[in-house]
Amino acid sequence: MSAQELLKSAEDHMQKAVERLHKEFQTIRTGRPSPHVLDKIEVEYYGTMNPIKGLGNISIQDGRTIMIQPYDKGSLKAIEQAIQKSDLGVNPNNDGSVIRLSFPSLTEDRRKELVKMVGKLAEEFRVTVRNARRDCDQNMKKLKGTISEDEIKKHGDSLQKLTDKYIKDIDKTLKDKEEELMEI
């Protein structure tokens, strides 16, 4: 593998880490509901695990309520049970045709707890980006002899700039999520 291919591979890993962080942050409940909070919840339906969004329409009914309208009314009970077992922290209201999830306002303590949680999550993804840099750097050093020391150093500088860019993206995403969580 050439030095350019190693850099491209490292950048792909870093970019995927940032994209996964965005998806993880979408599933964390803030002061207002989002259909993405249901992304991690799977429902056992006819013997297989399915995401809720695959079993019905999900919509925001008002500023604090998510409504799930299943394609098959027979899945209502299974969806309701999956939500109750999840760490979402809301009780589903099943009226026989739709499920409504009413989200109360977050308490100050819960907001602070969520801020700590997203901070830890962001750090995990920073480590992922740094690991991609380390792996690429080690593989670059293995190219010694096929490319010059100066080229290895130049590529190392490019690798560090990539790392800094993606760490900065993670920090901005974290800052935005913290602001969203602390918003009343």
* 30: pLDDT strictly greater than 80: no
Specify the pLDDT at position 111.
86
Looking at the predicted structure, is the pLDDT value of residue 10 above 70?
A: yes
Residue 72, pLDDT > 80, answer yes
* Of the candidate ranges 26-30, 118-122, 124-128, 147-151, the one whose mean pLDDT is the lowest: 26-30
Q: Return the pLDDT at 2.
A: 84
**pLDDT (average), residues 154-160:** 92
pLDDT at 78 > cutoff 70: yes
Q: What pLDDT is attached to residue 172?
A: 96
Highest mean pLDDT among 10-14, 34-38, 57-61: 10-14
Q: How far is Cα 129 from Cα 40, in angstroms, rounded to an integer?
A: 23
Alpha-carbon radius of gyration of the chain = 22
In angstroms, the CA 41 to CA 76 distance is: 14
Q: What pLDDT score was predicted for residue 18?
A: 95
Amino acid identity at 16: K
Q: Which residue has tokens 């077992």?
A: 85
| Mean pLDDT calculated for residue range 95-104 | 88
Residue 124 has pLDDT above 90, yes or no: yes
pLDDT tops 90 at residue 141: no
pTM of the predicted model as reported, rounded to 2 decimal places: 0.74
The reported pLDDT for the residue numbered 107 is: 83
Sorted by where each starts, the structural domains of the chain and their CATH numbers stand as 3-27+107-182 (1.10.132.20), 35-102 (3.30.1360.40)
Per-residue pLDDT band for 9 (boundaries 50, 70, 90) equals very high
Distance CA 173, CA 180 (A): 11
